[in-house]
Amino acid sequence: MRRQVNKRKSTGGRGRQSRTVSGDRATLVFIGTVYALSIALSLLVGLTGGFESALIQLRFLSMFFPALAVLVVRFLTNERPQLEWNRFPLKYVPLALLLMPVVMHAAMLPVAAAYEGRLPWEDWLKPQPDGLYHSPAKLGWGALTSSGVVRRIGLNAVVGLTIASFLAFFEEVGWRAWLLPRLVERGGARRAVVITSLIWAAWHVPFELSGIQHIEGVSPAHLALTLPFGIFATGLVIGWLWVKTESIWIVTLAHGALNSWGQYAFKYMKFVRAPDSVVGAAGGLAVLVLGVLLLTGGLTTPRPTEREDDER
| % the chain with pLDDT above 70 | 88
17-34 in b/e form (b: 16+ CB < 10 A) is eeeeeebeebbebbbebb
Q: What is the pLDDT of residues 155-171, one digit of tens each?
A: 999 999 999 999 999 99
Quote the pLDDT of residue 10: 45
Is the pLDDT score of 305 beyond 50? Answer: no
Is the pLDDT score of 224 beyond 50? Answer: yes
Q: What is the pLDDT of residues 8-67, one digit of tens each?
A: 444 444 544 444 556 789 999 999 999 999 999 999 999 999 999 999 999 999 999 999
Work out the average pLDDT over 164-183: 96
Query: Average pLDDT over the chain, rounded to whole?
Result: 89
Confidence of residue 259 (pLDDT cuts 50, 70, 90): very high
Work out the average pLDDT over 221-240: 95
Is the pLDDT score of 142 beyond 50? Answer: yes
Q: What is the rounded CA–CA span in Å between residue 66 and residue 33?
A: 8
Work out the average pLDDT over 76-94: 89
Quote the pLDDT of residue 81: 73
DSSP 269: B
Quote the pLDDT of residue 72: 95
To which H or E segment does residue 110 belong? helix 93-116
Are residues 261 and 101 in contact, defined by beta-carbon separation less than 8 angstroms?
Answer: yes
Are residues 165 and 63 in contact, defined by beta-carbon separation less than 8 angstroms?
Answer: no
Nearest to 234 by CA among 301, 188, 172: 172
Quote the pLDDT of residue 298: 67
Are residues 239 and 197 in contact, defined by beta-carbon separation less than 8 angstroms?
Answer: yes
Domain assignments of the chain as residue spans, ordered by start: 87-311
Q: What is the rounded CA–CA span in Å between residue 307 and residue 305?
A: 5
Quote the pLDDT of residue 310: 52
Is the pLDDT score of 307 beyond 60? Answer: no
Give CA angle at 143 (138, 147), nearest 5°: 110
Nearest to 171 by CA among 77, 104, 256, 86: 256
Is the pLDDT score of 199 beyond 50? Answer: yes
